[in-house]
Structure 1
Amino acid sequence: MKPVNALLFAAAAAMLGTMVAPLSADAADKVFALVPKNMNNPFFDQARDGCMKAAEEIGGIECYYIGPGEHGGGDEQFQMVQDLIAKGVDGLAVSVSNAPAIAKAAAAAKEAGIPVVTWDSDLLPRDQALRATYIGTVNTEIGKEIGKRLIALKPDGGTYCIQSGGPAAVNMNERMKGMLDTLPADKWTQVAGCPLYNNDDFPLSIVQMTDILAKYPDLDAMLNAGGAPQMLPEAYRQLTSRYEDRIKSGELVLLFVETMDVQMGFLKDGLSHGQVGQRPYEMGYRAIYTLNDVVSGKTVPDPITVGLDVCTPETADSCKTK
């Protein structure tokens, strides 16, 4: 293991103002850092839990979970990854916010002999040789499932708006591509001003959704490449209550990514017409096993894919996998 000073990690975390899982008092043989896009999202909480479970099973492994406390364009995540490299962690697993920036950090990690895997969101194709593998879903397939669900509900087409996270997030862009490739251009038109980018800012996502629905009262569909508006349950319920008749009649279709418990509640209540879920617990779990394989000299497949859960109101009680 490279020298890792727990006090330095704690000080760095305190300076960055984040809440992180502390390093154990008795040093582990290896320290692997799991870096989410932010730490205020239950999606990433599940990945953390998978990471901790894998570390416990392997033994002698520290899952060090650290990331920006809030949303952002990726600058804080980039700095954190740089700091982790400087402190000599044994491996990095990063959900990439800003692909070009993290590519620079991955190059520095490679030079320092620190393996990098990506999960949930990958580097750009030109930079993927800098990491050992990507662990997650095929993000274009997520977008395709959203598109297919919309076509099934409204085969005659109409108008729609896509809401996404960060404009530099590869996973979000791939999901949008999947939607656009699936929706027939002769039947479906995206309204002016869309796509919307909320940068994983939950309050902003509600404001954007509120504004676009007010601007286009006859909008046929709101497609979300993530689940940001649903992460503020009271605000989401308040917003959708204004359009409850249109939503429940199917005039206004709402489709989202992820299947967190709160989101499944909206699906069951008729305030969503579909949820396409990833498996974040498995991503965090497999990230640690994969890094351990890499540092042990083993060859790992690229990519390592986890499945999708496609949930509708009719299948809400049986569709979700941990």
Structure 2
Amino acid sequence: MLNIKHSIKIFVCLLIAIFVSGCGANDGKYQIIYNGEQKKEQKNQNKSKEDFTIAIVPKVSGIPYFNAVEEGALEAGKDLNVNVLFEGPPIADWQQQRNIIEDFIQRDVDLIAVSANDPKKLGPVLQKAREKGIRVITWDSDTDANYRELFINMVDPENLGRHLMDNLASKMGEKGEYAIMTGSHAAATSSAWMSYIIKQQEEVYPEMKLVKVVETDDNPQKSYMGAQKLLKDYPNLQGILGSSSVGPPAAAQAVLDAGKTGKVTVTGLSTPNLMRTHLEDGSSQIITLWSPKKLGYLTVSLANDLLKGDKIKDGKHIGKVGNIKIKGDTVIMGLPIDFTRENIDQYDF
């Protein structure tokens, strides 16, 4: 009788051992439950950073601004010895971004960093990525905070919005009709900038009047047509402020083509290379931005820090970028740069 009980006990132990070893065999990965989410844990805790794959998703591909971001991201990947994938949709469309993110989920990347075309609609696919154990951050344009770990912002949105209005007002003599050309109302960052642009005008420049907000979807041709229509519909228009990189060059070209150089002020956000000719010929007066290349570099650098488990601290120095600031769950890269005819030749991006 004792021998039978002993045999049963050995048999049960063998079953448990087989079950446990079978659970551990999953291509070197297993699932745990943490804070209600499934997250992948590596059995090999010493996974080298060369194995990290960071996927960067811009709002749109093929425009100079995001091309410069890509250049910085790839440079950081090379410097830090991590794999960087960079892919965006041909137009600023959240559904196409979702499809790209789905593909990155299937490719089992370690982290996805997205510049969101819509703060809410991308939520489900980003949550899906997190449930698969993929880290998620945003940069350039945020989502709702519950869909990501942190947001990498170029500048403080209030400071930028008010600064952009100050620039426009100074060139318009602080009075007259003006219009705003924005990329998309849905993009959280653009929406925040615009709210502070308008607030600054209402609080500080009461003799200025906003007559129209034009949505361009970050499309150069749509921006040009929108600027043409503004000049036609509002003959007393004295200023156009473009809050996406394709807006100011399109507006400046429309002003030049309409023979209104010097009569209509064009300011806003764009790259020096897109605006160089317009600043030199006077069809635009002042342009503001930051370094998109540094933004790409910073995004990959901080993504790498997260994957390594390094804490991101206020004031931390990032090589080739500078000292960052932390504001809640947002990283702020730095201060905006103004470009004019006098200093434009100092910059090349």
TM-score with structure 2 length normalisation? 0.75
Q: Is the 8 A contact 2:241 2:248 kept in 1?
A: no
Alpha-carbon distance in 2 for matches of 1:135, 1:225: 15
Q: Which structure dedicates a bigger proportion of its chain to strand?
A: 2
The residue that corresponds to 1:115 in the other structure is: 135
Match of 1:47 among 69, 87, 99: 69
1:294 correspondence with 2:306: yes
Q: State the match for 2:230 in structure 1.
A: 212
Give the aligned CA root-mean-square deviation in angstroms. Answer: 2.4
Partner letter of residue 71 of structure 2? D
Aligned to 1:130: 148
Secondary structure of 1:82 counterpart: helix
Aligned residue type for 2:344: A
Q: Distance in 1 between matches of 2:55 and 2:261?
A: 42
- Aligned residue pair count: 285
Moved over 6 A (4+): none
Contact 2:239 2:264 survives alignment (8 Å)? yes
Q: What fraction of aligned residue pairs are identical, expressed as a percent?
A: 22
Per mean C-alpha deviation after superposition, the further-off stretch among 41-50 and 222-231 is 222-231
Shift of the alpha carbon at 1:157?
1.2
* Paired position in structure 2 for 1:265: 277
Go from structure 1 to structure 2 and tell me whether the alpha carbon gap of 1:83 and 1:212 turns closer, same or farther (over 3 Å shift).
same
CA distance, structure 2, for counterparts of residue 276 and residue 30 of structure 1? 34
1:201 aligns with 219
Q: Counterpart of 1:181? A: 199
Shift of 1:321: 8.0
**Alignment-derived partner of residue 279 in structure 1:** 291
* Structure 2 match to 1:242: 257
Distance, in Å, in 2 between the alignment partners of 1:175 and 1:141 is: 9
Offset, 1:58: 1.2
Q: Does 1:62 align with 2:77?
A: no
Whole-angstrom distance in 1 between the partners of 2:159 and 2:95: 28
Verify: 1:223 aligned to 2:230, yes or no: no
Give ranges in structure 1 of 5+ residues lacking alignment.
4-27
Deviation string, structure 1 residues 96-122 (Cα, Å, up to 9, x no partner): 111112232222222222111211111
TM-aligned CA deviation for residue 137 of structure 1? 2.3
**Structure 2: unaligned runs, 5 residues or longer:** 1-25, 28-49, 314-328
Q: Give the structure, 1 or 2, with the largest relative contact order (CA under 8 Å, sep 6 or more).
A: 1
Shift of 1:312: 2.6
Match of 1:6 in 2: none
- Match for 1:284: what amino acid? G
Residues 229, 163 of structure 1: CA spacing in aligned structure 2 closer, same or farther, 3 A cutoff?
A: closer
Secondary structure at the residue paired with 1:313? coil
**1:155-212 deviations in Å (ceiling 9; x for gaps):** 3411111111112101111121121121136322111xx2111111211111111011
Q: Is the 8 A contact 1:121 1:136 kept in 2?
A: no
**Which one is further off, 143-152 or 130-139?**
130-139
Whether the 8 Å contact between 1:106 and 1:131 is mirrored in structure 2 is no
